Chain A
């Protein structure tokens, strides 16, 4: 039985097996990026909140630089790393809610009926995170420069900072995706979101770890991977090229991304639930 939809000059059937992995990934990434760009609220509000905190804390905690051993005389140079991580945490909720919406609306079932591969879906959905990561990094840097922040590592450092920022955004977006696949509901992800902020406040976000006086707080900050993400970014601003801080920053961001993608695979397979 031949089925031809009578579209002149076109093959009656698509190629068997669908598109290649790269093409599938790019198609899903494009959709994710387009969705993000068209929802201005997703771009603007996650930008504003970290900048507000940056402005408030930058003024109210500036005397912290008088603490002996504080690594810079300008508190904003120290603090500028925080908006990058806060912004990335907002990316996690955006990515998670987007995927949860696809699950709830049945869009994921539609994709499951195509030859879409699990890996393409998991990586492709980071397209929106790429857009947010780039926009946030550029805006935070520009606002930082405008308020007197200087980047000791120069133009090269700015590019590395951009790369690290995008990698961190990918990691948190993938975490949001994992939560969406496990929980399946946008509201549940939004409910979990405040917990992410707790990890930010229990890190070296406001003070260098060696200057935290309370032992339990210092211990938690030392074991908290978020501290190393902050310190990777911060090193480019106030230290210059610190190989260890950068290695730890990139290492933990990569680990977050790899672990969450790996954990997402069985969950995605189960969500796609096809024979």
Chain B
């Protein structure tokens, strides 16, 4: 599959009986070895897409190939080349971490000593060697997620699906998982399809990002490309004297359209990028205007989401839930 896409999706649709189209004609291509971040709020269609691509949910229409295999007609082949850690770390609280791995390895056809050695190696890789023989019911959320990842890797898949792998984890566990996912793509050449509702996660991990909202992909590109699409960085200047706001706005007007934020603070977008920062400092100095703070803001993926959907990503989830609820009431 070296010359073909790892994942290719063409007009994929999933419609549920009493609801709207969860996924509404999406197209995307993921290259081998790439980390593709699928970013969107709850209810946007991320998990439904993953369930379809992992063959666990048949699409209503459209076509997709994973590892070169059709997800509908060649499901068994697809499952051979993928590993998946789905949204809930579906583990058996009564079994130990090692027992999970041995069961998974057996079902994947790994035999004899290889089974034990692979289980041990994977436990070590995800940092669970010490907890390997403890029941999973006593694991923390981060440990469960790491075990979930190890289980997805048992049969050395070429393509890894991670559905919101860090939801609910503390920052330490989240960072550890990011490191491991990064290593899988970088060192092992694994293709990773990662869904997330965390902007930072997509920004840090993904080579390319698809932003999904209401079942549609509303933007796609590398994080810098997406941010560049909505313009350059902005600078926010707060004068020492709040009454100097008008004068400050006048000075900054030569760089762009100044926006007053209260207490004399003025923000201006820099179409020329951060190189204009030096000019701003020079102009303020020459005008002898004393400045309390001067901050450069790079555009974030949240700005991209806002620009593409008219909403901030945080809060989009609540809105989606409210919509679903009112839709459900209408349905009844």
**Chain A positions near chain B (C-beta within 8 angstroms):** 1-19, 23-24, 27-28, 30-31, 34-35, 38-39, 102, 105-107, 109-116, 273-275
Inter-chain contacts of A105 with B (CB < 8 A): 88, 90-92
Q: Is the CB of B155 within 8 A of A13?
A: yes
Q: Does B121 lie at the interface of the complex (its beta carbon under 8 Å from any beta carbon of A)?
A: yes
Chain B hits for A11, CB < 8 A: 114
- The A-contacting residues of B in range 36-93, CB under 8 angstroms, are 54-58, 71-76, 78-80, 82-84, 86-88, 90-92
Task: Tell me, rounded to whole Å, the shortest Cβ–Cβ distance linking A119 to chain B.
Answer: 13
Which residue of A has the minimal Cβ distance to B6? Answer: A1
Closest to B75 in A: A275
Which interface class (under 10, 10 to 19, 20 to 34, 35 or more) fits B? 35 or more
Residues of chain A within 8 A (CB-CB) of B2 are 1
Is B97 on the interface with A (CB-CB < 8 A)? no
Determine the distance from Cα of A185 to Cα of B325 in the docked complex, in whole angstroms: 23
A-B contact pairs, 24 of them (CB 8 A): A1-B2, A1-B32, A1-B158, A1-B191, A4-B156, A4-B188, A5-B121, A8-B121, A10-B121, A12-B156, A13-B156, A14-B109, A14-B110, A17-B80, A34-B94, A35-B92, A105-B90, A106-B86, A107-B91, A109-B86, A110-B86, A115-B76, A275-B55, A275-B74
9-residue interface stretch from B99-107, B246-254, B258-266, B295-303: B99-107
Given A31-B99, A107-B92, A115-B80: A273 touches B57 (CB 8 Å cut-off):
yes
Give, as a whole number of angstroms, the nearest-CB distance from B163 to chain A: 10
How far is A38 from B189 in the complex, measured between Cα atoms in Å?
40
The B174-226 residues at the A interface (CB cut-off 8 A) are: 187-191
B residues 1-52 near A (Cβ < 8 Å) are: 1-2, 6, 32-33
B154 at the interface (CB under 8 A from A): yes
Inter-subunit contact A3/B71 (CB<8 Å): no
State how many angstroms separate the Cβ of B7 from the closest Cβ of chain A. 13
List the A residue with the shortest CB-CB distance to B59.
A275
Q: Which 4 A-B pairs have the closest CB atoms?
A: A275-B75, A106-B90, A14-B155, A114-B107
A14-B156, A273-B57 known; A5+B188 contact, CB < 8 A:
yes
Residues of B within 8 A of A (CB): 1-2, 6, 32-33, 54-58, 71-76, 78-80, 82-84, 86-88, 90-92, 94-95, 99, 103-111, 114, 117-118, 121-122, 125, 135, 151, 153-158, 187-191
Which residues of the partner chain B approach A7 to less than 8 Å between Cβ atoms?
117-118, 121-122
Contacts between chains A and B (CB distance < 8 A), count: 137
Interchain CB contact under 8 A, A116 and B107: yes
Chain B residue nearest to A27 in the complex (CB): B106
Cα distance, A18 to B2, chains bound together (Å): 24
Min CB–CB distance B52 → chain A (angstroms): 9
**Contact status of A109 and B154, CB under 8 A, knowing A3-B189, A114-B107, A274-B56:** no
On chain A, the residues within 8 Å of B188 by CB distance are 3-6
**Max count, chain B CB within 10 A of own CB: residue among A7, A34, A111:** A7
Closest Cβ of chain B to A14, distance in Å, is: 4
A39 to B135: give the CA distance in the assembly, Å.
12
A9 to B117, CA, bound (A): 9
Docked CA distance A27–B107 (Å): 8
Q: Please tell me if the beta carbons of B79 and A114 are within 8 angstroms of each other in the complex.
A: yes
Residues of B within 8 Å of A2, CB to CB, are 189
Contacts of A1 in B (CB 8 A): 1-2, 6, 32-33, 158, 189, 191
